[in-house]
Amino acid sequence: MSDTLQIKSVPISRRDSFNTRDKQTRELKPFYSGDIKILLLENISQKAVDILNKAGYQVEFHTKALDKDALIEKIKDVHVVGIRSKTKLTQEVLSHANKLIAIGCFCIGTNQVDLTYAASRGICVFNSPFSNSRSVAELVIAEIILLARQLGDRSREMHDGVWNKVSNNCYEIRGKTLGIIGYGHIGTQLGVLAESLGMHVIWYDILPLMPIGMSTAVESLDEVLAEADFVSCHVPETPETKNMIGARELALMKPGSYLINASRGTVVDIDALAVSLKSGHLAGAAVDVYPKEPLANGPGFESPLRNCPNTLLTPHIGGSTEEAQRMIGIEVATAATKFVNTGASINAVNFAECDLRAIPSTDRTTVRIVNVHQNVPGVLRQINNILADYNVNKQISDSKGDVAYFMADVTVENSKDINTIYEHVTAIGENIITRVLF
């Protein structure tokens, strides 16, 4: 390998690298000389673009999702791809990704990515599980008020030239009960906001969690449905949550109550919800997510919920605020950059989470070996046998499912030894991806 080692010192905080004692640490980079190429789709935040450009990468930016054929062609030559919810990274697509090492999902969900296959190819997936929590919680609060006052219908009537001043079945939300299904980052923030408006909050989660404020945990989903005036869903898309709110669950809800779904489109049976709304059993609903969503903006959206009474339909905009998109851009772009440059997989979705403390700026001979391999017995022994002739300063290894992740900082005196280590580790039969960072 002909690359000349160029060491650059940068300031680093405890947040950036745990257990770091040196005020100056080395900035790691991939060992190969080719530029890192990034493909960003679906109008990713400019803040993310700025972070990736500042890292020295080649960034290709698109405002929309690509069709499958164009995506397959583009993904062949990139190291990182950034997407939101519309782009589907299936096994078929990822099988063409010859250089891909990381995927950034600039959103909460990752169901648009084949996580297991990505891991088997050594592709680490990151998302942003926290950054848009406030935006979603605020949208739900707005929808609760809009539904309680039938403002969606009144606004539509006024646009149609109809004056319809009514107070029947219009309510304040103070004193009403909000039932939250899924008490995670969004659910907890929603509960705090609802309490500040005078609502009583109950919630159900499959995990034992600490209540925030005056909220109360209940023992079952059925209990939430039976007691709440407003029910709001905040659960991930899993086989267990598919159609978790169906005809049976809707029938359990109080007559005249309201349902809100800003989680995943498969959580609520849309046809059953439409029947419940048209029959008058539910007084209203707000839906932001759907089982099938259009790939692009424009006409053509179809749903049984269209024209249902007191029903608010929004185009998956729960996290679509400037503040949320900026924070998501920072979080995911930073995680991807750290993975590319240092190998850190903290907060990865489909990888074991590993990191090593930073290399001091005074250390000019240490390189970092990063390896993804099949999680079978004997691989670590083979790797350590290869490294046995060198001083291993520190190492870490962990696994998740069928894939294991290994990192080690090794003292190497010359580039020939770097090549030797790289070639030998790559030659291991169970090797998936090996990278050397310096």
* Cα distances (angstroms) measured from residue 344 to each of 69, 106, 133, 172: 32, 18, 25, 49
For the beta sheet containing 230-233, the strands, ordered from the edge strand earlier in sequence to the opposite edge, are 216-217, 200-204, 177-181, 230-233, 257-261, 282-287, 311-313
Would you name the residues annotated as active-site residues?
264, 293, 316
| Pairing outcome for strands 311-313 and 24-26 | unpaired
Query: What is d(CA 46, CA 58) in angstroms, rounded to the nearest whole number?
Result: 15
Query: What is d(CA 413, CA 418) in angstroms, rounded to the nearest whole number?
Result: 9
Q: Is 142 helix (H, G, I), strand (E, B) or coil?
A: helix
For residues 15, 18, 24 and 26, what is the CA-based torsion angle, rounded to 10 degrees? -110
Burial 207-224 (b: 16+ CB within 10 A, else e): eeeeeeeebebbeebeeb
Identify the DSSP state of 302: -
In 10 A of CB 327, how many CB atoms? Answer: 21
Gyration radius of the chain's alpha carbons = 25
Q: Is 120 helix (H, G, I), strand (E, B) or coil?
A: helix
Residues in a beta bridge with 398:
405
Q: Is 115 helix (H, G, I), strand (E, B) or coil?
A: helix
User: Would you report the helix, strand and coil content of the chain in percent, each value rounded to 5?
Assistant: 30, 20, 50
